[in-house]
Chain A
Amino acid sequence: MDIYGKVKALISEQLGVEEGELTMDTSFEDLDADSLDIVELVMALEEEFNLEISDDEVEKIKTVGDVVRYIEAHA
């Protein structure tokens, strides 16, 4: 599975949304994710891709595409 596919699967699992609903442009605000949801998602991403995402970086992540681009650049 490519990074986009893995990220979509993780977000789907963490936030309880259908993978089919997710595009690169889907924002976490649209998904009604609160700050604790984001913390849990970041934890899951860190474990899946074996990296650490700093709080400053987390602040900048607004959409599914932001996550995919961050992972592609850092994994």
Chain B
Amino acid sequence: MADNEPVFNEPWEAQAFALVVAMHDEGLFKWSEWAEMLGKIIAADQNNLSYYELWLGALERMIEEKSVLQSSEVEKRKSAWADAVARTPHGKPIELGQDI
């Protein structure tokens, strides 16, 4: 295995990684809590998800358990982004409208 394999395969992996590191830096959880959560999500995986899919799942659970965001606002924001993606022509930057 070469030393130069890419650190992240897709941009969203890097973004999910950075969110966890930044939230820890801001004191939103301890690193031991993060490792425990990630270990729990990995152990429970039945679908052979990729490492960063599990990482993202653990981040969502952590945000929920620590009540950082409400699940209703997360769902609302997610559908706002889905709408924005659907209405934006290819090549144009995807931006949220006024409806958030």
Do chains A and B stick together as partners?
Answer: no
Interface residue ranges, B against A (CB under 8 Å):
none
Interface residue ranges, A against B (CB under 8 Å):
none
